[in-house]
Amino acid sequence: MQNLRLVLLASGLAFVLPITGYAQSISDIENLSPEDRRAYMESMSPDERAAMREKWAVERAALTDEERAAMRAKRQEIQAERRAKWESMSEEERDIVRAKRQEIHAMRREQWESMSDEERAAAREKMGKRKHGGNGDRQRHKGEDSDTPE
């Protein structure tokens, strides 16, 4: 009987814990450090992330103009802090950051080049929807399939 209770408790927690990710609000996520935020988002399944984005979109739509202005001001403050941090770095530290960025870029390039044409088309579609909210009227970037030469 004790084992049955433990199994039920564990399976109940396994069911409930993923749902707790949906309960996170924008402000809860914003309060995390960048590393913690990245780890939290990577721990979620693609479906959980999609549900989270939808929830955040609803939250953003419900914000007042003052709240939106406050969010913009906070983003600008964060950008200013990042700029100040960059400017306070030594050249050696900047070189390390640049090398890390180049490594990530090379890894993404390698991943892209290993994709089939169908996978690339799906990735372009997905990025277009992410960047432009599903706007099918977006202008094509250079290098993409286009009927008109640029």
Tokens at 45, concatenated: 């399944």
Mean pLDDT (whole number) for 56-63: 88
Kindly indicate the confidence band of residue 139, based on its pLDDT and cuts at 50, 70 and 90: very low
pTM exceeding the 0.75 threshold for the entire prediction: no
Q: Which of 16-25, 41-50, 111-120 has the lowest mean pLDDT?
A: 16-25
Residue 13 in this model has a pLDDT that exceeds 80: no
CA distance 46 to 53: 10
Residue 9 in this model has a pLDDT that exceeds 70: no
For the chain, the average pLDDT equals 78
Kindly indicate the confidence band of residue 112, based on its pLDDT and cuts at 50, 70 and 90: very high
Helices (H), the chain: 2-20, 26-30, 34-42, 46-61, 65-88, 91-113, 117-132
Q: Where are the domains of the chain?
A: 1-88, 90-128
The whole-number pLDDT of residue 73 equals: 94
